[in-house]
Amino acid sequence: FQTDVLTELKKWKLSLIEHHKLQMKQEKDKHAAHVRQLSSEMENLKELLHTYEISIGRKDEVITNLSQALERQKERVELMRKFTLWRIQHVKAKQEAYANRIADRQFRTALMKKVWAAWRSLSEEKWKEKVAKACRLRAEDVCVQLTNDYEAKIAELTATLEQTKAEILRLQSEREQYEDTMKKAFMRGVCALNLEAMTMFQGK
C-alpha cells in the first residue's frame, strides 16, 4: 500500500511538473507574441515618424523656395521702380535744360533786337525803313521757326513722359498680378501638403 501511495504521489508530482512546464511554455509564447506585437507597432511608429519628418522637411523646403522667389520678385520690382523713377527724373532734367536753352535764346534774340534797333536809329533815314522792314520780317521768320521747333520738341517730350507713366502703371499691375499668383500658388502648395499628410494619417 505504501508503495502504491508513493507511486501515486510520484505520478502526481510528475503530472504537476509537466502541467507547470506547459503553463510556463504557454506564458513564454504569449510573452514572445506580445513582444513581437509591440516591436511591430514600434517599427510602424518609427516609419510613421520618418514619414512625418520627410513631409515636414518638404514643406519647409517649399516654404523656403517660395520665400526666396518672393524676395527675388520684390527686388526685381524695386529695381524696376527705381529705374522708372530715374528715367522720369532724367526726362524732367532734359525738359528743364531745354527750356533754359530756349529762354537763353529768346533773351539773346530780344537783346539782338534791342541792339539792332539802336543801330538802326543811328543809320541814315533812307536805309532806316528798308532795314527795319527786312529785320522785322527776318525776326518774325526766326520767331515762327523757333516756336514751331519748340512746340514740336515739347510735344515729343510730353509723349515720352506719357509713355513712361503708362509703363509705370503696367509694371505696377504686373507686380500685383504676380503677387496674387504667388499667393495662390503658395496656398495651393500648402493645401496639397496638408492633403498628403492627411492621406498618410488616414492610411496608417
Per-residue pLDDT reduced to its tens digit, 46-86: 999 998 888 888 888 888 899 999 999 999 999 999 999 99
- Cβ atoms 70, 182 nearer than 8 A: yes
Distance from C-alpha of 105 to C-alpha of 146, rounded to nearest angstrom: 9
Calpha distance 85→77 (Å, rounded): 12
* Sequence-ordered list of residues with C-beta below 8 angstroms from that of 204, at least 6 positions apart, any chain: 44, 48
24's grid cell: 510556463
pLDDT (0 to 100) of residue 202: 67
In angstroms, the CA 51 to CA 199 distance is 12
Cell numbers standing for residue 151:
512746340
Model's pTM, two decimal places? 0.31
Q: What is the pLDDT of residue 33?
A: 92
Phi/psi for 12 (5° steps) reads: -60, -45
Contacts (Cβ under 8 Å, ≥6 apart) of 51 = 200
Give the Cα separation of 59 and 52 in Å (integer): 10
> In the chain, which residues have pLDDT < 70?
1, 123-128, 131, 189-190, 192-204
Specify burial of residue 149 (Cβ count, 10 A radius: 0-12, 13-18, 19+): exposed
Give the list of residues 6+ apart from residue 56 with CB closer than 8 angstroms, or none. none
Residue 104 confidence (pLDDT): 92
pLDDT on residue 8: 84
Residue 9: predicted pLDDT: 84
Residue 189's nearest CA partner among 66, 104, 10, 75 is 66
